[in-house]
Amino acid sequence: MSEEKVLGYLPDEKPRFIELILFALQQIVVMFPATVLVALITGFHVSTTIFASGLATLAFILVTGRKIPLYYGSSFSYIAAIASIMTADAFKDYPINDKISIAQFGIVMSGLVSILAGLLIKKFGNKLINRLLPATVTGSIAIIIGLSLAANALDNADSIPANLGNMSQSAATSFAWIIAIVTLLSTILYSVYLKGKLSQLPVLFGLLTGYLTALIIDLATGIDFVSFSTIEAKNIFSLPVFTFPKPTWAAVFAIMPIALATIPESTAHLFQLDIYVNELARRKGVDKKYDIENRLGSNLIGDGLGDIVAGMIGGPAGTNYGENISTMAITKTFSVSVLIAAAIITMVISCFTPLINAVYSIPTPVIGGLSIYLFGVIGAQGIAIMLDKKVDMFSARNLAVIAVILIIGLGGHFNYEGGMIPMFGVKLPAIATAAIVGILLNLVLSIGYKEETEQN
C-alpha cells in the first residue's frame, strides 16, 4: 500500500501557472477586506491603499531575499493613531489629500523604527529577541489579534445592503446569516475533505459557494447582496491617487510609536510560519531546514521598508498579514512565487475599475463567513507557538505574562470605544498596550529566574 502523497508548496517551490494564479487569488481574497476596511476607516484612498499593499509586498520579498513568504497589508494597530491626525482640529480645514500627506510622514517614520529594530537583532542575534519576546508574549499576542477581530467577523456576517427590495430588515438579516453560514461550513468542509490539488483551494471554493448562494438569494428575494457598481468611473483604466509625505511633528508623535507594538505581532507571524513550513518540509521528506525563525531581523527590516514604500505613495501603515498566514497554513501553500503573483495582481486590480468592482461585489456576509474561520485560525496559531516552544503552563511567571496580555488586549479592545484604554489622562491602544506591558512584565519577572532554574 503506497503512502498518500503530501501536497503543498514550500517557500522556494513554484506551482504551475494556473495553480499559481488560483493560489494568488486566494491570498488576495483574504487580505482584501481588512486592507480596504483600514482605508475606509482612516479616509485614505481605497485604490491607492490596494496598490500600496502590492508594491510594499514586492519590496518586502525583495529585501528579504525571497526567503520569507509573507504578504504586507494595512494594519489595524495604526487606525486610531492615523485617525487622530485625519480628524485633528488643527487640520480640520485641510483638503483630504493634505491630511493624508501629513499622516504619511508619520507612517514613513514608523518604518524607520522597524528597520532599526531589525538591524539591532541582526547585530545582537536572536538572544535579544528571545529575551524580549518569548513564546509567552508572541503566542499571547497572536491569540488576541485573532480574537480581537471576532466582532468584525460577526459584524460582516450579518451585514445587509441598503437595497432590501420588499424584504424587512429582520428577513434580510436572516438571509445574510444563511450566506455567511454556507460560506463558513463549505470552506471548512472543503479544507477537511477535499483531496489532491483541490485540497489547496478551500478558501477560494468557499468564497465561490457563498457568492453563488448570495446570487440565488439576490434573484429570489430582490435583496441587493451582490452589486457591481460600487465605484462609478467613466474610464475603465484609472491610476490610483498618489500623494506624498508632508513633514509634521504631530504625525511623528502620533503614529511613529505604534511601530513598537507591531514588532511582537510580526514576530508571532514569523514563528507561526517557521512551525508550519518546517512541518510541511518534514512531511514531504525534504531535508532542507527552512530557518525562517532566525530571519526576524530581515523580517522587521522588510516590514519597515513596506511602511516606507506604502507611506511614500499614500497608503496606510501595515504589517505582514495573519489572514494570509492562516490561508497558507490551511492550504499548505507557502510559495513566495504565489505572493509575488498576488502582489502584482493586486496592483493591476487597483488600476482597473471593473476589476475593483468585481472584488467589491463579493457580499459582505461571504467575507464574514470566511473571517470567522480565518480569524479563529490566527488565534489558534498563537496556541501552536506556545506548544511548539514547550511553554510551561504550570509556571507562575508564564501564567502571569499570558494572563495580563490576554485580559488587557481583549478587555481593552472590546470594552472601550475604538479599543483605546483611558488611563492617566491619555488613551492607549489596547493591543499595543498589552504587548508593551507583557514585554515589561516578562523582563521584570525574569530577574533571577534563570539562576533559580539552574539551582533546581
Residue 125 in this model has a pLDDT that exceeds 80? no
- The residues, any chain, with a CB within 8 Å of residue 273's CB and separated by 6 or more, are 68, 69, 70, 292, 325, 328, 334
Residue 137 in this model has a pLDDT that exceeds 90? no
Cell of 78: 495604526
Give the residue, 146 or 64, on which the prediction is more confident. Answer: 64
3 state SS for 325-386: HHHHHHHCECCHHHHHHHHHHHHHHHHEHHHHHHHHCCCHHHHHHHHHHHHHHHHHHHHHHH
Give the residue, 375 or 438, on which the prediction is more confident. Answer: 438
- DSSP class of residue 2 equals P
Going by C-alpha positions, the residue among 151, 210, 204 that lies closest to residue 175 is 210
Give the model's pLDDT for residue 452. 43
Q: pTM for the whole thing? A: 0.72
Going by C-alpha positions, the residue among 203, 215, 202, 161 that lies closest to residue 32 is 203
Give the model's confidence band at 191: pLDDT under 50 very low, under 70 low, under 90 confident, else very high. confident
Range among 195-204, 215-224, 321-330, 393-402 with highest mean pLDDT value: 393-402
Please compute the mean of the pLDDT values over residues 226-239 and round it to a whole number. 71
Residue 1 in this model has a pLDDT that exceeds 50? no
Query: What's the chain's average pLDDT?
Result: 85
Instruction: Report d(CA 440, CA 333) in Å as an integer.
Output: 36
Going by C-alpha positions, the residue among 205, 181, 179 that lies closest to residue 192 is 205
Give the model's pLDDT for residue 84. 72
Give the model's confidence band at 130: pLDDT under 50 very low, under 70 low, under 90 confident, else very high. confident
Give the residue, 34 or 368, on which the prediction is more confident. Answer: 368
Give the pLDDT confidence of 267-308 residue by residue, as tens digits.
878 888 998 999 999 999 888 888 898 898 999 999 999 999
Domain chopping of the chain, boundaries: 17-227+249-447
Give the model's pLDDT for residue 199. 72
Give the pLDDT confidence of 33-62 residue by residue, as tens digits.
778 767 866 778 888 999 999 999 999 999
Is residue 375 within 8 A of residue 54, CB to CB? The reply is no
Give the model's pLDDT for residue 200. 66
